[in-house]
């Protein structure tokens, strides 16, 4: 079996369980998902401040997963929280669900749009789009303004609000949709059927890519920003 660690950078157990279910649904029969969450930090990641607080606890959990035999890692936050730090810190390759979803969407359509949670996440995601070299392919980053932990509250109306943003994205020329939060994963197939557009959720995309890297026994580059620092002081 190939062991892939899927780590939720926040500390909300219910969200970790939902992420784990999406990851196992996407995993091949010979892939075992090691699901876990940050050992300390915010209950949800809704912008750069939460992301910064989450990184030490996330790295500690990912280090433990590697000791348990993980051959690749997935960071299950669409902001790709701590991605460079994790790649520098860990032995095995690390895939962020945001980067994975954007690249998969670019394989399914000439252009894509992202529908995320809160407006304060939009600058982070816009910066990531540019960093990944996909600015010319991304038509919009749209915020539903639904908090992460309210996505599955029926009172939030999340599927309908996200659906409305998908139509806005289509009008702006998007040929594929990326759901910009791990907590949106279970909406993907329903929204895809409703709108007739490819809808990519990052957990499944990242599990697929991480599994591929694990099969190849790949390792991250140790040049440039991913050169490994002294690690003894980084996490408790």
Return d(Cα 16, Cα 202) in angstroms, integer.
14
Place of tokens 């997963």: 65
- Cα dihedral 204→194→110→142 (10° resolution): -80
pLDDT at 21: 96
pLDDT at 125: 97
- 199 secondary structure, DSSP code: E
Q: In DSSP terms, which residues pair with 76 in a beta bridge? A: none
DSSP string, 44-72: S--SHHHHHHHHHHHHHHHHHHHHTT-SE
The reply to whether CATH 3.30.365.10 applies to domain 98-201 is: no
- 4 secondary structure, DSSP code: E
User: Which tokens go with 153?
Assistant: 């509250």
Return d(Cα 234, Cα 41) in angstroms, integer.
15
pLDDT along the chain (236 residues), means of 10: 97 95 97 96 92 96 97 97 95 97 98 96 97 98 95 94 98 98 94 97 98 95 75 54
Query: CA nearest 198: which of 108, 111, 113, 99?
Result: 108
Place of tokens 């279970």: 186
CATH fold, domain 2-96+204-224, is Rossmann fold (3.40.50)
pLDDT at 222: 82
pLDDT at 228: 73
Q: In what order do the strands lie in the sheet with 138-143?
A: 138-143, 112-116, 176-179, 199-201
Residues of the chain with CATH 3.40.50.12500: 2-96+204-224, 98-201
pTM for the full predicted model? 0.93
pLDDT at 124: 95
């Amino acid at each position: 079996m190939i062991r892939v660690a899927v780590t939720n950078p926040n500390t909300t157990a219910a969200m970790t369980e939902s992420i784990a279910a999406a990851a196992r649904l996407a995993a091949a029969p010979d892939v075992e998902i090691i699901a876990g969450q940050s050992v300390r930090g915010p209950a949800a990641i809704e912008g750069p401040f939460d992301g910064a607080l989450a990184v030490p606890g996330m790295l500690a959990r990912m280090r433990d997963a590697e000791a348990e035999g993980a051959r690749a890692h997935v960071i299950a936050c669409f902001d790709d929280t701590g991605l460079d730090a994790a790649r520098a810190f860990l032995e095995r390759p690390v895939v962020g669900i945001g980067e994975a979803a954007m690249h998969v969407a670019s394989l399914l359509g000439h252009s894509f749009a992202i529908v995320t949670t809160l407006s304060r996440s939009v600058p982070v995601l816009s910066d990531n789009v540019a960093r990944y070299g996909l600015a010319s392919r991304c038509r919009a980053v749209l915020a539903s303004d639904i908090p992460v932990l309210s996505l599955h509250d029926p009172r939030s109306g999340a599927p309908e609000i996200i659906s409305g943003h998908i139509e806005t994205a289509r009008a702006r020329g998007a040929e594929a949709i990326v759901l910009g939060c791990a907590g949106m994963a279970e909406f993907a197939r329903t929204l895809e059927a409703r709108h007739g557009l490819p809808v990519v959720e990052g957990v499944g995309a990242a599990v697929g890519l991480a599994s591929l890297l694990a099969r190849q026994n790949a390792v991250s580059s140790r040049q440039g920003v991913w050169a490994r620092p002294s690690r003894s002081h980084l996490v408790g």
